[in-house]
Chain A
Amino acid sequence: MIEVLGVTKSYGSNDAVKDISFSVKQGEILGFLGPNGAGKTTTMKMITCYMPPTLGSITVDGLDVVNDSMAVRKKIGYLPESTPLYDEMGVRDYLNFIADVRKINGDSRKRAFDRVIHVCGLSQVIHKDIHELSKGFRQRVGFAQAILHDPEILILDEPTTGLDPNQIIEIRNLIRQLGESKTVIFSTHIMQEVQATSDRVLIIDQGIIAAQGTAEELKASIAGQMHLELVLRNADKSEFIAIVNDLATVELDDIKLQKNGDLDVSLNINAGTDFREQMFDLAVSKQWKILESSPSSFTLEDVFRKLTN
């Protein structure tokens, strides 16, 4: 449905995105994950025909975003970051304006209004002015604008930013509901959001794609890897470092000497090994005392942090 091929966007000598390629299949929900300034918004602006790529090509349903810009725009519903709305307009006036521009007239306008008022839950605010609305309702009006022409593709730039936890869940449900019939790309820097809503995740950092796949695939890429936090008494820091550096299956993440002489250790353990037994034997032979030992498995959040730091 959407093909991004070797796309670079430069601002002067600065590359906001560098040679990125990915595709989105029809009916797929793609989560765009990345820290602020990673190039998520830039990529979305190119897909929505706001600005053309400097290099490479983007096609939407086989149509080029530069050469067939008007046809592409008709297929896309776009909710930009921060949900821009005309504060001085009423909600109904605003939706009428969008319908005018999108040429939705007569009966189909009435049906479209009924649909978006129902889907976005706007019935209690439809007669209000936009400047009177709460953040949550503003977001819903933004959604209503994006789906008014029943587009095949929805591009949502950080749709849950600034909402309270209940509103975030509402918007996530809305994305999932819309994603049943539409192709959706949405961006976020919140991990759970991607896990909760998207079929596939694309992690973007400093303008390049750091990883892509389903949330499960990304987790599997570090599957079996474990994290082990230890507190040791009577252990010597340099001796411990020397021993760990000789082990192929263990990677030292962090080591700190506490004021009372105890050693705080954080280890990354490769897949397929259970270092805990080995650690016990090691501690016995060296006469260290293990005060604490807490293993944990990696989350998608760790994947993200690992890839983008």
Chain B
Amino acid sequence: MSEILAIYRKEMKTYFNSPIAFIVISSFLVITNWLFFDYGDYPFFAINIADIRGIFDYGAIVLLFIAPAVSMRLISEEKHQDTLELLVTMPITDMHIIIGKYLSTLVIFGIILAGTLVAPISISFVGDLDMGIVISSYIGFFFLGATYLAMGLAASSFTRNQIVAYIMGIMIIAVFFLMNGMANGSGFMATLFENLSIRFHYQNFFRGVLDSRDLLYFFSLILVSLLISSTALSSRKFR
């Protein structure tokens, strides 16, 4: 456990010693809030309804570009600087390295989540927000981000180039996010793609219901992504 925290603390220092953390957190908040309050055919102030769903709709898309930027350097930079060679010969397992790094991205995302609270809190003073839906939406948004970050981490573990990791991360997330659009109708393939898509499971949280199937779906994606990342680190042993 203490090794995991050692990796976690190192990553947090790196995020905050450089402008990375500040840039990703502020860009997400600025872009998402702008889209929510002021963009499109139904901006918040024009429709005049106390509903913050827009934050999570726009947020899911903005995060698609922000999350891989948080996770892109995690392994690729270690490979690029050759520090990975030293790290994996320390008394720490490959999985612990991955978990420690993943934990740091979750905390960055936690700060982003906290930043979005400004909208529901201020709206709750002037309108009648359905707190049940707000809470379930936040839980959904947390799992969405956690999944994006795990996928971004997996992408990072296959390359020594951060840009490649970033683009690969976006592609993987986008495929899973949009998968329900790949088949129409009610056939087997359509149901399969729908059930495999992030968007399908994500939308369920906005009804104010926590369905174990949705939670299981996100848990599985996170777990598989972390296993893939750890296996990519260990692949040096099988070559």
Q: Do A and B bind each other?
A: yes
Interface-side segment among A70-78, A183-191, A219-227, A300-308: A70-78
Question: Which among A48, A93, A97 is the interface contact of B89 at CB below 8 angstroms?
Answer: A48
CA distance A75 to B91 in the complex (A): 10
Q: Is B57 in the interface zone, CB < 8 Å from A?
A: no
Binds A, one of B13-21, B64-72, B191-199: B13-21
- The answer to whether B91 and A88 have CB atoms under 8 Å apart is no
Asked if B5 is at the interface of the complex by the 8 Å CB criterion, the answer is: yes
Which B residue sits closest to A74, measured CB to CB?
A: B91
Q: Quick check: B90 and A73 within 8 Å, CB to CB?
A: yes
9-residue interface stretch from A99-107, A192-200, A264-272? A99-107
Contact in complex: B2, A100 (CB < 8 Å): yes
Q: Determine if A132 is an interface residue (Cβ-Cβ < 8 Å).
A: no
- Can you give 8 contacting A-B residue pairs, CB < 8 Å? A85-B81, A88-B18, A93-B13, A97-B9, A100-B5, A100-B9, A100-B10, A102-B91
Is A84 positioned at the interface, with any CB of B under 8 Å from its CB? yes
A253-281, CB < 8 A from B: none
Which 9 residue pairs spanning A and B have beta carbons closest together?
Answer: A100-B6, A84-B82, A84-B83, A73-B91, A48-B89, A101-B6, A97-B10, A101-B90, A80-B85
Given contacts A11-B239, A93-B13, A97-B9, contact A87 B89 (CB under 8 A): no
Flag whether A50 is at the interface (Cβ < 8 A).
Answer: yes
CB neighbours (8 Å) of A45 from chain B are 85
Contact present for B237 and A101 (CB under 8 Å): no
Q: Who on chain A is nearest to B90 by CB?
A: A101
| Residue from B2, B6, B17 in contact with A97 in the complex, judged by beta carbons closer than 8 Å | B6
Does B46 interact with chain A (Cβ within 8 Å)? Answer: no
Cβ–Cβ < 8 Å partners of B89 in chain A: 48-50, 73, 76, 78
A87 and B81 in contact, given A50-B236, A52-B237 (Cβ under 8 angstroms): yes
> A residues within 8 A CB of B10?
86, 89, 97, 100
Could you say which residues of chain A place their CB within 8 Å of the CB of B7? 101
> Cα distance A70–B92 when bound, in Å?
7
Residues on the B chain within 8 Å of A103, using CB: 2-3
With a cutoff of 8 Å between Cβ atoms, the chain A residues found around residue B2 in the complex are: 100, 103
Chain B contacts to A: CB under 8 angstroms: 2-3, 5-7, 9-10, 13-14, 17-18, 81-83, 85-86, 88-93, 236-237, 239
| Closest beta carbon of chain B to A10's beta carbon, Å | 9
A133 at the binding interface (Cβ < 8 Å): no
User: CA of A100 to CA of B96 in the docked complex: distance in angstroms?
Assistant: 13
Contact partner of A51 (CB less than 8 A), chosen from B81, B91, B239, is: B239
Task: Give residues 206-242 of A contacting B (CB, 8 Å).
Answer: none
CB distance from A144 to the nearest CB of B (A): 13
Known A50-B88, A51-B237, A86-B10; 15 more pairs at CB < 8 Å: A49-B89, A51-B239, A70-B91, A84-B81, A85-B81, A86-B81, A87-B81, A88-B18, A93-B13, A97-B6, A97-B9, A97-B10, A100-B2, A100-B5, A101-B90
> Hey, which chain A residues are within 8 Å of B14, CB to CB?
86, 88-89
A residues 77-125 near B (Cβ < 8 Å) are 78, 80, 82, 84-89, 93, 97-98, 100-103
How many Å lie between the Cα of A220 and that of B237 in the bound state?
Answer: 40
Contacts of B18 in A (CB 8 A): 88
Verify A84–B85 contact, CB threshold 8 A. Answer: yes
Closest chain A residue, CB of each to CB of B17: A88
> B91 near A85 (CB under 8 angstroms)?
no
Q: Which residues of A contact B90 (CB under 8 A)?
A: 73, 98, 101-102
Query: What B residues does A87 contact at CB under 8 A?
Result: 81
Give the distance in Å from the alpha carbon of A45 to the alpha carbon of B84 in the complex. Answer: 13
State the Cβ distance, A81 to closest chain B Cβ, in Å: 8
Which residue on chain A has the smallest CB distance to residue B88? A50
Q: Are B3 and A101 in contact, with the CB atoms below 8 A?
A: yes
Q: How far is the CB of B19 from chain A (nearest CB, A)?
A: 11
Question: Residues 7-25 of chain A: 1 if any B CB is under 8 Å from the residue's CB, otherwise 0?
Answer: 0000100000000000000
Closest to A145 in B: B86
**Which residue of chain A is the closest to B234 with respect to CB atoms?**
A51
- The CA of A84 and the CA of B92, in the complex, are separated in Å by 18
Contact with B along A43-80 (1 / 0, CB 8 A): 00100111110000000000000000010011010101
